[in-house]
Structure 1
Amino acid sequence: MAITLKNEHDIAQMRVACRLASEVLDYITPLVVAGITTGELDRLCHEYMLKEQGTIPAPLNYQPPGYPPYPKATCISVNDVICHGIPGDKTLKNGDALNIDVTVIKDGYFGDTSRMFIVGEGSILARRLVQTTYECMWLGIDQVRPGAHLGDIGHAIQRHAEGQGYSVVREYCGHGIGTVFHDDPQILHYGRPGTGIELQAGMIFTIEPMINAGRRDIRTMPDQWTVKTKDRSLSAQWEHTILVTESGYDVLTVSAGTPARPPVVAATTA
């Protein structure tokens, strides 16, 4: 495993790319309404990246080994879609819960973040799952500091999710990021405290738990990208990109519209 510690220049560039990724979500938030298609949301995000930001959508034509090229600028995962939902002709309706996942490239650096949205009021089940998943992400983030271990992050997420009666998807994880989209280390969203590599200042990675209302089992669609819950239960995901600092952490994917830290996480700034 080759983990690259970022220097001051890298960190400054990552702050820009990550803020821009978050600002795409700020822009699209008021447009997530009943009657719009996921394809139209993707088109609007793509247009905003190109025309307003001068950024490149990292997912477009992204092709890891064994996969076809990803055909869209964003991933939009609705209801029982866990991740990598391909935007298309699906029309949003009241009650839908969806994740919009944005990764932009600016001057060779990748900024990666995602948020959950509920169309209209949504069910109690959907709202509770979305909130719990947000808390899971933040409880994982709050473990980040030099000397902590990757297992501390996963354990905090798993304990909270399972304590609320939910399950943690294990096939997908967070990842290192910088001038490479997906880099070492892998950030598992489950685990045992004190295990895994030790965190060091200068590491940058994503924390992006995928939490299911039902069982954790998955099924992959014929497009080879879209991943759904096997039992068709709801799934939720949030994602931030995190810098390990000398004293704790810094969340890089923040902008004017970024939701606040949840009350379950201590109010003190790390």
Structure 2
Amino acid sequence: MLWSRLPRRVPPRLSRAFQDFGNYSVILPQEPFVYGVGHITQRSVPTHILRPDYAGGRPTTNADVDGKVFLGGDAERRLRAAAKLAREVRVFAGSLVKPGITTNEIDEAVHNRIIESSAYPSPLRYSGFPRSCCTSVNNIITHGIPDDRPLENGDIVCVDITVYLNGYHGDTAETFFVGDVDTAGRETVSMANQAVEAGISACGPGRPFRDIGRAIHDVLRNTNFSASPMFSGHGIGSEFHRKPWIFHIVNEEVERMEPGHCFTIEPCIIQGKQPTCWIFPDGWTASTEDCARSAQTEHMVLITENGVEVLTR
């Protein structure tokens, strides 16, 4: 997931009481603030595992390369295998979620599961990201860095998994309940699931990419939820992030889906109608400005000759 033009290191504007959004703990940066992530020790990856170029310090991504694969060939086979592994690791990560476990412990287990599968955890070293998955708790919209805070009863946590297997990335995310979550939290997660399914239903060969954002907008229109305009889905394959960019709000994108296009749909759904965010001093963690909760579901979709297939279902 990519973003641009985001405010950084700006304190939240608590325009509404936390209680308006339900019963949960608000996640704020630890004090004293530490800027950047250079102090976080990165996990090691065996040398025999194929890794993306950026893991060796080369350019992060080739964003101008269109996200298409040749259907029926080796590229599609590898893409499907990467997506399948990502789905399996996502399910594994969800099985670990419970009160008392830390997101750092989840990240360690996810890291080991990925390398045991002879794959590389794509987030690790991507633009300097220090961990092997993203864990976004409660008011964290996305890109949460796993840490030593124990998950609490009533939290919701999105675990975003990406793996690099045999030269292709697989990318998926799900928001999990930690113990007994209140009604408002469960509604937030349900709305994230509905939003991504609406986006998927708008896909097919010849359809404009803007139909995805319109479908998500229609689901949210008469609710007290909104989609963050700051983050987009993206083409995926041999590159982690590349064209086409998938906007989850109403937009005027003119390009159309073609067979072979593979991309993610991953709307961040936020309580209330203030979908903007601020970035923690670590330079990655994105929180809602008013500390409302956010939930996300992410799937990879492949446009085929006759329709659309969800590779990470």
Q: Count how many residue pairs are aligned between Structure 1 and Structure 2.
A: 247
| Equivalence for 1:207 | 265
Does 2:54 match 1:5? no
- Give me the identity figure in percent: 38
| 8 Å Cα contact 1:170-1:188 kept in structure 2 | yes
| Equivalence for 2:115 | 50
Paired residues for 1:161-240 under 5 Å: 161-192=220-251, 195-214=253-272, 215-240=274-299
What TM-score, normalized to structure 1? 0.89
| 8 Å Cα contact 1:79-1:235 kept in structure 2 | yes
SS at match of 1:101: strand
Q: How many Å apart are 1:43 and its aligned residue?
A: 0.4
Q: Residues 75-127 of structure 1, C-alpha deviation per residue, up to 9 Å, x if partnerless?
A: 00000000000001111011101100000000110000000101112010000
| 8 Å Cα contact 2:103-2:149 kept in structure 1 | yes
Q: Residues 239-267 of structure 1, C-alpha deviation per residue, up to 9 Å, x if partnerless?
A: 0000001111001113xxxxxxxxxxxxx
Residues 104, 150 of structure 1: alpha-carbon distance in 2 compared, 3 angstrom cutoff = same
Higher Rg of the two aligned structures: 2
In structure 2, distance between residues paired with 1:162 and 1:168? 10
SS at match of 2:295: strand
In structure 2, distance between residues paired with 1:79 and 1:88? 14
SS at match of 2:231: coil
- Kindly report structure 1 stretches of 4+ aligned residues shifted beyond 4 Å: none
In structure 2, distance between residues paired with 1:144 and 1:121? 35
Q: How many Å apart are 1:70 and its aligned residue?
A: 0.4
| Equivalence for 1:121 | 180
| Equivalence for 2:97 | 32
Does 2:151 match 1:73? no
Query: Structure 1: where are the runs of 5+ without partners?
Result: 64-68, 255-270
Q: Residues 103-158 of structure 1, C-alpha deviation per residue, up to 9 Å, x if partnerless?
A: 00001100000001011120100000100110100110011101111110011112
Q: How many Å apart are 1:217 and its aligned residue?
A: 1.2
Q: How many Å apart are 1:4 and its aligned residue?
A: 4.2
In structure 1, distance between residues paired with 2:106 and 2:112? 10
Q: Residues 188-211 of structure 1, C-alpha deviation per residue, up to 9 Å, x if partnerless?
A: 00115x743111011000000001
| 8 Å Cα contact 1:21-1:104 kept in structure 2 | yes
Pick 1 or 2: higher relative contact order, CA cutoff 8 A, min separation 6: 2
In structure 2, distance between residues paired with 1:165 and 1:106? 39
| 8 Å Cα contact 2:158-2:295 kept in structure 1 | yes
What TM-score, normalized to structure 2? 0.77
Amino acid at match of 1:220: I
Q: Which residue of the other structure, out of 162, 173, 197, is the alignment partner of 1:103? A: 162
Q: Residues 31-71 of structure 1, C-alpha deviation per residue, up to 9 Å, x if partnerless?
A: 100000000000000011112x11100000111xxxxx100
| 8 Å Cα contact 2:67-2:244 kept in structure 1 | no
Q: How many Å apart are 1:163 and its aligned residue?
A: 2.2
Q: How many Å apart are 1:2 and its aligned residue?
A: 4.5
In structure 2, distance between residues paired with 1:121 and 1:88? 22
Amino acid at match of 1:103: T
In structure 1, distance between residues paired with 2:106 and 2:253? 40
SS at match of 1:163: coil
| 8 Å Cα contact 1:133-1:161 kept in structure 2 | no
